[in-house]
Amino acid sequence: MKSLLCMAISGAAATAVAQSPGTAPALQPVVQVHTSASLPLTTGATENFSGTARISSPFQAVPPGKAGGATVTFEAGARTAWHVHPLGQTLIVTSGLGLVQQQGQAAQVIRPGDVVNIPQNVRHWHGAGPNGPMTHVAIAEKEDGISVTWQVKVTDQEYQAALTGAGVQAKDGQATGSRSSAKSDTLSAKQRAIPLMAAFMATSDMPRLNAALNQGLDAGLTVSEAKEVLVQLYAYAGFPRSLNALGELLKVVEARKQRGVQDVQGREAGRAVATGSELIVAGRANQTEISGGPAQSPVFDFAPVINQFLQAHLFGDIFERDNLDWQSRELATVGALAATPGAEAQLRSHMRASLRVGLSAAQLRQLTQTLADGAGPEAADRANDALARALALASKD
Report the CATH number at residue 342. Answer: 1.20.1290.10
User: Is pLDDT at 370 greater than 80 in this prediction?
Assistant: yes
- Encode pLDDT of 176-223 as tens digits: 433 544 456 899 999 999 999 999 999 999 999 999 999 999 999 999
Least confident residue range of 110-119, 223-232, 272-281, 341-350: 272-281
Q: Are 69 and 138 in contact (CB under 8 A)?
A: yes
**Number of domains into which the chain is organized:** 2
- Encode pLDDT of 6-31 as tens digits: 433 344 444 444 455 555 566 778 88
146 plus 193 within the same structural domain = no
216 plus 357 within the same structural domain = yes
77 plus 116 within the same structural domain = yes
Would residue 21 be called left, alpha or beta, if left means φ above 0 and alpha means ψ between -120 and 50 degrees?
beta
Residue 306 maps to a domain: no
The residue with greater pLDDT, 164 or 229, is 229
pLDDT at 247: 97
40 plus 148 within the same structural domain = yes
pTM of the model: 0.62
Domain that holds residue 137: 36-166
251 plus 340 within the same structural domain = yes
pLDDT at 13: 42
62 plus 193 within the same structural domain = no
pLDDT at 24: 57
pLDDT at 363: 95
137 plus 79 within the same structural domain = yes
User: Is pLDDT at 393 greater than 60 in this prediction?
Assistant: yes
Compute the average pLDDT of residues 302-326.
Answer: 91
pLDDT at 25: 62
- Encode pLDDT of 242-287 as tens digits: 999 999 999 999 999 999 998 999 888 877 777 887 788 888 888 8
194 plus 127 within the same structural domain = no
Residue 312 maps to a domain: no
User: Is pLDDT at 142 greater than 70 in this prediction?
Assistant: yes
CA angle 245, 247, 250 (to 5 degrees): 115
Average pLDDT of the residues of the chain: 87
341 plus 265 within the same structural domain = yes
386 plus 261 within the same structural domain = yes
Residue 392 maps to a domain: yes
DSSP characters over 192-248:
HHHHHHHHHHHTT-HHHHHHHHHHHHHTT--HHHHHHHHHHTHHHH-HHHHHHHHHH
Compute the average pLDDT of residues 225-248.
Answer: 96
- CATH number of the domain enclosing 58: 2.60.120.10
